[in-house]
Amino acid sequence: MIPAEQPANETERLQVLHSLKILDTVADDDYDTITELASLLCGTPVSLISMVDEERQWFKSKKGLDVCETAREHSFCAHAILEPTEILEIPDARLDPRFIDNPLTENETPVVFYAGVPLRTDTGVPIGSLCVIDHKPNALTPDQRSALKKLGKQVERLLLLRSMNHELITTKESLKKHNGLLKEFASVVSHDLKMPLANIILTSDIVKKKYGEFIDDQGKAYLDYLKKSSLSMSDYITKILDHYECSSYDIDDTQAFEVNDLLEGVIDLMNIRDNCEILTPENNIAIHCNSTALQQIFMNLIGNSLKYSDKEKTVIQIAVTEMDKLYEFKVRDNGIGIEKEKLDTIFELFTTAGQLDNTGQKGHGIGLSTVKNLVENLGGEITVTSELGVFSEFVFTIAKRVRF
* Confidence at residue 270, expressed as pLDDT on a 0 to 100 scale: 79
Q: Could you give the CA distance from residue 173 to residue 170 in angstroms, rounded to a whole number?
A: 5
| Max CA separation in the chain (angstroms) | 114
Q: Indicate whether 58 pLDDT > 90.
A: yes
Query: Which stretch of 81-95, 102-116, 333-347 has the lowest confidence by average pLDDT?
Result: 333-347
Question: Which regions of 178-298 does DSSP assign to beta strands (E)?
Answer: 255-258, 276-279, 286-289
Q: Are residues 127 and 81 in contact, defined by beta-carbon separation less than 8 angstroms? A: yes
Is the Cα dihedral 226, 232, 238, 240 positive or negative? negative
- CATH topology for 252-404 is Heat Shock Protein 90 (3.30.565)
Query: Which stretch of 43-47, 169-173, 346-350, 375-379 has the lowest confidence by average pLDDT?
Result: 346-350
CA angle at residue 193 from 370 to 394, to 5 degrees? 25
* Confidence at residue 239, expressed as pLDDT on a 0 to 100 scale: 57
pTM passes above 0.85: no
356 secondary structure, DSSP code: B
pLDDT greater at residue 247 or residue 196:
196
* Confidence at residue 198, expressed as pLDDT on a 0 to 100 scale: 85
Q: Identify any residues that bridge with 113 across adjacent strands, giving them in sequence order.
A: 134
Q: Could you give the CA distance from residue 95 to residue 295 in angstroms, rounded to a whole number?
A: 79
CB neighbours of residue 126 within 10 Å? 22
Homologous superfamily of domain range 10-164 = GAF domain (3.30.450.40)
The DSSP result for 258-276, as a single string, is EHHHHHHHHHHHS---TTE
User: CA 96: distance to chain centroid?
Assistant: 52
Question: Which regions of 121-210 does DSSP assign to beta strands (E)?
Answer: 126-134
pLDDT above 70 covers a percentage of the chain that reads 88
Q: Identify any residues that bridge with 315 across adjacent strands, giving them in sequence order.
A: 277
* Confidence at residue 403, expressed as pLDDT on a 0 to 100 scale: 45
Among 34, 41, 40, smallest CA distance to 128 is for 34
* Confidence at residue 304, expressed as pLDDT on a 0 to 100 scale: 87
Confidence of residue 404 (pLDDT cuts 50, 70, 90): very low
Q: What does DSSP say about strands 314-322 and 276-279: parallel, antiparallel, or unpaired?
A: parallel
Most confident of the following: 49-53, 172-176, 311-315, 376-380 = 49-53
Among 252, 255, 247, smallest CA distance to 286 is for 255
Q: Could you give the CA distance from residue 181 to residue 172 in angstroms, rounded to a whole number?
A: 14
pLDDT greater at residue 307 or residue 332:
332
CB neighbours of residue 223 within 10 Å? 17
* Confidence at residue 70, expressed as pLDDT on a 0 to 100 scale: 95
Q: How far lies 299's CA from each of 265, 270, 309, in Å?
A: 10, 8, 16
Q: Are residues 336 and 308 in contact, defined by beta-carbon separation less than 8 angstroms? A: yes
* Confidence at residue 291, expressed as pLDDT on a 0 to 100 scale: 85
Q: Could you give the CA distance from residue 392 to residue 301 in angstroms, rounded to a whole number?
A: 10
Mean pLDDT of the chain: 86
pLDDT greater at residue 184 or residue 378:
378
Q: Give me the mean pLDDT over the 62-74 stretch.
A: 94
Q: Could you give the CA distance from residue 364 to residue 357 in angstroms, rounded to a whole number?
A: 11
DSSP H helical segments within 6-48, as ranges? 10-19, 29-42
Per-domain boundaries in the chain: 10-164, 252-404
Q: Are residues 156 and 119 in contact, defined by beta-carbon separation less than 8 angstroms? A: yes
Q: Could you give the CA distance from residue 162 to residue 261 in angstroms, rounded to a whole number?
A: 49
Q: Are residues 316 and 276 in contact, defined by beta-carbon separation less than 8 angstroms? A: yes
Most confident of the following: 15-19, 356-360, 361-365 = 15-19
Q: Indicate whether 248 pLDDT > 80.
A: no
Q: Could you give the CA distance from residue 395 to residue 388 in angstroms, rounded to a whole number?
A: 17
* Confidence at residue 360, expressed as pLDDT on a 0 to 100 scale: 54
pLDDT above 90 covers a percentage of the chain that reads 50
Among 186, 171, 374, smallest CA distance to 366 is for 374
* Confidence at residue 324, expressed as pLDDT on a 0 to 100 scale: 87
Q: Indicate whether 244 pLDDT > 70.
A: no
pLDDT tens-place string over residues 114-146: 999 999 999 999 999 999 999 999 999 999 999
pLDDT tens-place string over residues 274-312: 888 999 998 889 888 888 888 889 988 998 888 888 888
